Amino acid sequence: MANSASSTTLGSLPALMDSSFSPKSQTLRELAQQLRLYKPLPSTDDEDEIEERRIEENKGKVVSQVGFSESATSITHSERFRPKRAAVLICLFEDDAGDLRVILTRRSKRLSTHSGEVALPGGKAEAGDANDTETSLREAKEEIGLDPSLVNVVTVLEPFLSKHLLRVVPVIGILSNRQAFKPTPNVGEVEVIFDAPLEMFIKDENRTAEEREWMGHKYLIHFFDYETENKKFIIWGLTAGILIRAASIVYQRPPPFLEQNPNFGFLRSVTPNTILP
């Protein structure tokens, strides 16, 4: 999943969050405990879903204000844009030096969207997915061969909006056995699998930013330069934004730079063909 669906709560994760998960590392044990307590911030998505449920429950019915029986007359509602949902997996592990790292991919250049860009494993929700966690784990298995049994999901973050107006939910999981994970890229989707230090995303080193404007509101696109094993990567856009947020929560401190995300308050008035610049 590359470049900033449904709002997910911890209540949707009990089958996948193992409270008995107890890695050998004290750091990972404390991190899992800390993240299980995290509650995603309220968003306009929450209000939208409540409104959609209310509309669905009252579909085809009009209740009289003066006590008459319900009418079979349908209530008409104006159409508005509703973004499709997707989820990405922020899979964390501890390296030999005790630093937290996150698994990333570079997408295949043959893909029609976001080709050649750095991304977190993930993608669009499918009908059989019970929740955002299942979407992220299914996609990670398909893209990089990550067995879901190796990932202990500990929380989800607030939804982000992709360039093509997908509503993307980041799911944070901890890799329980680094040695058991044998990266296997799906060559149709993934060119390279690599990892990067999570803390990098709340540091000002190797970072640049560009100012963009959307519907009259200015926002920043962040770019992080990263090199490993003689390969150079640029981590930017939605992926960078999600990792800035994740690192801020994990390390419990904000970045030393301005984030300035787009204002999505006008989302209801856009069309499915609208994209962020």
> Each residue of 121-136: pLDDT tens digit?
999 999 999 999 999 9
- Asked if 132 and 115 touch (Cβ cutoff 8 Å), the reply is no
Short-list 247, 17, 26, 9, CA closest to 151: 17
Torsion of CA 167, 104, 134, 11, to 10 degrees: -70
Percent of the chain scored above 70 by pLDDT?
Answer: 70
The dihedral sign for the CA sequence 265, 8, 138, 239: positive
Whole-number pLDDT of residue 133 = 97
Integer angstrom CA distances of residue 27 from 21, 101, 126, 250: 13, 13, 34, 11
Whole-number pLDDT of residue 14 = 37
The two structure tokens encoding residue 20? 């008995």
pLDDT digits (tens, 9 = 90+) for 192-212: 999 999 999 999 999 999 999
pLDDT digits (tens, 9 = 90+) for 36-66: 999 887 755 554 554 455 544 544 444 333 3
The DSSP call for residue 19 is T
Short-list 87, 121, 93, 88, CA closest to 196: 93
- Asked if 27 and 98 touch (Cβ cutoff 8 Å), the reply is yes
CATH node for 85-251: 3.90.79.10
Q: Is the pLDDT of residue 254 over 90?
A: yes
The three-point CA angle 36-40-45 to 5° equals 145
Short-list 142, 199, 132, 203, CA closest to 170: 132
Q: pLDDT band at 6, cuts 50/70/90? A: very low
More confident residue, 178 or 57: 178
3-state helix/strand/coil string of 134-175? HHHHHHHHHHHCCCHHHEEEEEECCCEECCCCCEEEEEEEEE
The DSSP call for residue 113 is S
Mean pLDDT of the chain: 80
- The region of weakest confidence among 48-52, 102-106, 156-160, 166-170 is 48-52
The three-point CA angle 142-202-11 to 5° equals 50
d(CA 105, CA 239): 11
- The region of weakest confidence among 69-73, 98-102, 133-137, 249-253 is 69-73
- pTM score: 0.80
Whole-number pLDDT of residue 145 = 97
The two structure tokens encoding residue 148? 């879901």
d(CA 204, CA 196): 15
Q: pLDDT band at 163, cuts 50/70/90? A: confident
Task: Work out the average pLDDT over 23-28.
Answer: 82
Short-list 92, 88, 87, 86, CA closest to 173: 92
Pairing of strands 167-175, 160-161: antiparallel
One-letter amino acid for residue 236 of the chain = W
Q: Is the pLDDT of residue 105 over 90?
A: yes
More confident residue, 85 or 273: 85
d(CA 235, CA 241): 9
One-letter amino acid for residue 181 of the chain = F
Q: pLDDT band at 23, cuts 50/70/90? A: low
Task: Work out the average pLDDT over 208-233.
Answer: 91
